Each structure stands twice: as structure tokens, then as C-alpha cells.
Amino acid sequence: MVLRNLLLAALVGATPLCATAQDVKLGFVNTERILRESGPAQRAGKKLETEFAKKQQELQRMADQLKRVQDDLEKNGLTMSEAQRRAKEREFNDLNRELQRRDRDFRDEVNQRRNEETAQLVEQANKIIRQIAEQEKFDVILQATDALIINQRVDITERVMKALEGKPPAR
């Protein structure tokens, strides 16, 4: 963040040395907004939900089963024989370990797929940003994921999002 601000300050500060301020055409793209609000990002999110719904349901069934075993132990543990209670505790511990392992694997798989979808979207957006920069002769286009105060005149985020939808970017 600090390095980016220093770079921006240096760029803006050095601009008058290279040319007049009117000669430099700056643009800005809010990458976080594209990854959160664009149509392709929302479709990717729905795609991932659908893709992982079955595994999510399986994990929920295992969690429900674990809860039933725990409830049985709490309710009937005192009336069970020592062998029955130990068997039930072993069942509970085995189920708990298996659920934790599967949950970890599930989260890893979801994160990997989300990263793949995000990388693909970023690649598409960067291609569009380069096209807009070339077509409209931008000197510099800054990309950021955090909040900066940007004049709407230089913010081309909306145009990039429209182009991701296959619509021609409005000027």
C-alpha cells in the first residue's frame, strides 16, 4: 500500500517534467470491484456453488450423524455398559476425525477452484484493459484493490465490466 502510494506520487509528481498535465492520460481500474460485481465473477460464484453442492450436502450429513452420536452419548452414556460407551466414543472420535479431514479437503478444493476462476477472470480483464489503453491511448492505467479517491473521469472500471459481458465499452 505504501509502496503503491509512493509510486503513484512519484508518477504524478514526475509527470510535469515529462509533459504537461493535459498531455498525460491516466486511467484507473478497481480490480476488487470487477472480481466482486462483474457478471462473469457472479456466474463463476454460482458455478462453484453448483459444482460443490453435492460435497457440501455430504459434509452436512456427516455433521448431522456426528451430532446424533454425540446426543446419544450424552443422553444414554450413563446407562450404557463400559464396552458400549467406549465403542460409541470411538465411533464419535472416528467420525469427528473423518469429518474434519473431509472438511479440510473440501475447503482446499473450493479455494483451488476459486483461485482458478479468479485467475481466468483477471486474465480476461487485463486483456480488455490493454485493449482500452491501446484504443484510447492511455499513458498509464492504475489497478488497485483497495479504496483510493479516484475521479470518475479516469475510472474505467465500469467499461471493463461491460466489455467482460461482451458489450462494447462506452467512452
The predicted pLDDT at position 15 comes to 43
The predicted-structure confidence for 99-142, as pLDDT tens digits, reads as follows 999 999 999 999 999 999 999 999 999 999 999 999 989 999 88
User: How far apart are alpha carbons 53 and 93 in whole angstroms?
Assistant: 26
Of 52-56, 92-96, 146-150, give the lowest mean pLDDT range.
Answer: 146-150
> What would the pLDDT profile of 130-155 be if each residue is shown by its tens digit?
999 999 899 998 887 665 667 677 87
> With contact defined as beta carbons under 8 Å apart, do 140 and 14 qualify?
no
What pLDDT is attached to residue 63? 97
Task: Determine phi and psi for 24, rounding to 5 degrees.
Answer: -95, 125
What is the pLDDT at residue 11? 46
Domain limits, the chain:
14-164
Percent over 70 (pLDDT), the chain: 81
Q: Is the pLDDT of residue 93 over 90?
A: yes
Q: 113, 48 in Cβ contact below 8 A? A: yes
DSSP 167: P
Return the axis-axis angle of helices 39-76 and 82-135, rounded to nearest 10°: 170
Q: Which CATH superfamily is domain 14-164 in?
A: Skp domain (3.30.910.20)
- pLDDT of 59 above 90: yes
Q: What confidence tier does 22 reach under pLDDT thresholds 50, 70, 90? A: low
Enter the pTM of the model: 0.71
